[in-house]
Homo-oligomer: A and B are copies of this chain.
Amino acid sequence: MSTRRLLLSLILFHLTSTWSAWAYADEGMWTLDNLPREQLRTRYGFEPDQAFLNRAMQGTVRLASGCSGSLVSREGLMLTNHHCVIGCVQALSTADEDFVSKGFLAKKRGAEKQCPGMEVNQLQETSDVTAAINKATHGLEGEAFSEARKNVFSALQNACVEGNAERIRCDMVELYQGAIVHLYRYARYPDVRLVFSPEFASGFFGGDPDNFNFPRFNLDMGLLRVYENGRPLSNRVYFPLRESGAKEGELVITLGHPGETERLLTVSQLQLRRDHLLPFQLMLESEYRGLLNHYSQGGDEPARIARSDLTMLENGLKVMRGERQTLVAAEVMQAKREEEDGLRTWAQQQSEAVAVKNPWDATQQATSALRNFYPEYLMIASGYAFRSEIMGFARWLVRAAEERARSFEERLEGYSEAELPAIKQRVIAQRPVYADYDVIRLTWSLEKLREVLGVDHPFVRTVLGKDSPGAVAKRTIEGSALADPDLRVKLWEGGQAAIEASEDPAIQLARIINGTARLLHLKHKATVDAPMKKAAKDLAALRFARFGTSVYPDGTFSLRASFGTIKGWKEGDTTVSSATTFASLFDRATPYEPFQLGEAWVQASKAIEPSRRFNQVSDNDITGGNSGSPLINAKGEIVGLIFDGNIHSLGGAFFYDGSLNRAISVHPEAMITALKTIYPAPHLLRELRH
């Protein structure tokens, strides 16, 4: 799966640079206003008109939590991945009714269940605000630059939501490292309901062992419905499913929201990632994985409780391992270094107007700064040390109350009026809390706090005193009443006064944390984030001057299109073919997780044509956030549902290798067969017009 996925290539045959010639026609995640039209025309004979672009924008949606999706009926039915809805399915499950294990299918509208805290965004309008921002930040450096930038961002966002932040969401989209900034206005839909999710065993068949691998057999699909004013959304544009999919060689297009690529990072940034940040996270999260793994062995109920966390964690670990593996390949770093040296030499030869302040040295300085305090920053400010649902609520409540009490200019980034509704929705969402699970996770993460920063670190001493991590966790979680959503609503609405009056131990601990965390955020902003952004912008300006604008920007979790064809690849001497079938799925199945098929599948196996296709690969350039993206043909019909990349694509965070990188999607034949034969859902098939 690929939520916020950034990816690896163990064997690198070809190394192409984003900024060199457009070596692979299929590289790139393009904004709709800057498609590679010439290449599309010559390579595929495809010339997208305005109608196509409008449909692309209106038919594609985004889950604010980090996935993509598409509308597939006129009544708000939305297709995305199983792994994008699993958090909702988990939240709706109880010990008595475990929809994760057995799947979920609403037989009628009334049975569709609201997903707590889920938010769907549909892009309505984009505008270029680069000029306004450049004007506001002209001639500024360092903290002054970043303050001015934050303020003009907030002002633009606040104007954009038109006082209706409940229904409108406005995001600043920083393209090309912020050299171009767009303002994206989305319709916000906070009422999203679960329609269909297969059982975990099919949605994530092969589990972590098969994740990022191919051949593959995941029915990684989920159906949601977007509601407005308590009724299904009435939408004109949607994408129909084309059951037969696409032919090899035919143009296929992903539309979605690639979260983050980092193809333009400097060598010093990549080294920091390779040697410090990734290993730190990999060790920490690996240990957490071992903990959750053993917790899950405690019975069906613990397994159910931890399943979604564990799945996401394992996915993230595989991604980070892949990233690290890519960065330790000598060829990759060498290529990045040569590219950087080339640009640097070129810049030195230019007139002063072009040769801006050395962005590499500025970046190097910022990476050195971060190297000295990232453990504190990650543990305290990013909250790695406070893993618990209760502490999550408490930290959001305390932070939001404090920021809301400040003037607009003094707030931390992310707390403008326009952004508060999304935070509120997360805080007051009806999510189940499992106290034991919370105590175990908080205990462990407080132990890591002590381990990473040391027994004698002042913050550790403040949090623990003469107590143990276990004692603090138990007292905090068991003494807290924040599991009650009504209390959270009350605390949210009571603001800073209510927080200060609260004797809830989780709120009290969160207040201690927030004091230090806020200082670390400000330090990070001043010494790392702002200088890096400024340097990245300077670098982008240099690149523009040298290469022009016929290139695509890094992923920013905003709407992009990527182009390609259904296509296998060569793995050493072996050719991996482009699609799998039901026949090979049934062959791979065993009586044990994660290769065990549900009873409905075993029952249906005889009735299914074995040659029907299951999963397929194409060479579209995707990354995390593209999960749930429709794969469409030139007519706008869905010919696949993107859910992952192959193992080689794990280097995609840093570069695209067209000979090996593949996107993996669910074939429409698998989706329709599932709804027809395995989980009979004639009402949904009718709605999908099949």
Contact = CB atoms under 8 A, between A and B. Distances in A.
A293 interface: yes
A586 interface: no
Interface string A556-595: 0000000000000000000000000000000000111100
Contacts of A213: 454-455
A466 B593 CA distance: 11
Contact of A209 (B282, B293, B455): B455
A617 to B, nearest CB: 17
A312 interface: no
A471 B595 CA distance: 13
Interface in A446-466: 450-451, 454-455, 466
A76 B454 CA distance: 40
Interface in A504-547: none
A294 B470 CA distance: 12
A291 interface: yes
A460 to B, nearest CB: 9
A279 B451 contact: no
A208 B206 CA distance: 37
Contact of A276 (B209, B328, B471, B593): B328
A440 interface: yes
Nearest to A588: B455
A270 to B, nearest CB: 13
Interface in A248-292: 275-276, 279, 282-284, 286-292
Contact of A467 (B209, B275, B282, B590): B590
Say how many copies of this protein the assembly contains.
Answer: 2
A44 interface: no
A286 B290 contact: yes
Contact of A294 (B210, B294, B590): B294
Contacts of A291: 290-291, 293-294
Contacts of A297: 440
A253 B470 CA distance: 42
A444 interface: yes
A62 interface: no
Given A206-B455, A210-B455, A276-B328, A321 B592 contact: no
Judged by DSSP, the binding face of A is: helix
A591 B321 CA distance: 39
A324 interface: yes
Nearest to A592: B468
Interface string A202-221: 00001011100100000000
Contact of A279 (B282, B467, B593): B282
Contact of A471 (B292, B451, B466, B592): B592
Contacts of A440: 294, 297
A667 to B, nearest CB: 21
A129 B282 CA distance: 46
A404 B470 CA distance: 51
A679 interface: no
A209 B454 contact: yes
Contact of A468 (B295, B328, B590): B590
A289 B471 CA distance: 21
Contacts of A328: 275-276
A593 B468 CA distance: 7
Contacts of A284: 286
Contacts of A468: 590, 592-593
Given A279-B279, A321-B283, A208 B294 contact: no
Contacts of A466: 590-592
A218 B276 CA distance: 31
Contacts of A295: 294
A286 B288 CA distance: 8
A77 to B, nearest CB: 35
Interface in A294-340: 294-295, 297, 321, 324, 328
A381 B289 CA distance: 25
Nearest to A215: B456
A214 to B, nearest CB: 11
Nearest to A272: B328
A400 B293 CA distance: 35
Nearest to A647: B454
Interface in A338-369: none
Contact of A293 (B208, B444, B450, B467): B444
Contact of A287 (B206, B290, B455): B290
A440 B450 CA distance: 28
A433 to B, nearest CB: 20
Contacts of A450: 209
Contacts of A279: 279, 282, 324
A290 B294 contact: yes
A592 B470 contact: yes
Contacts of A321: 283
Contact of A282 (B283, B590, B593): B283
Contacts of A471: 592
A644 to B, nearest CB: 15
Interface in A590-631: 590-593
Interface in A76-135: none
Most central of A286, A289, A290, A592 by chain B CB within 10 Å:
A290
Contacts of A286: 282-284, 286-287, 290
Contact of A290 (B276, B289, B470, B593): B289
Nearest to A318: B451
Nearest to A593: B468
Interface in A422-441: 440
A683 to B, nearest CB: 37
Most central of A324, A468, A593 by chain B CB within 10 Å:
A468
A592 B467 contact: yes
Given A208-B451, A290-B444, 5 more contacts: A279-B282, A279-B324, A284-B286, A293-B444, A468-B593
Q: Which 5 A-B pairs have the closest CB atoms?
A: A290-B290, A468-B592, A290-B291, A287-B290, A275-B328
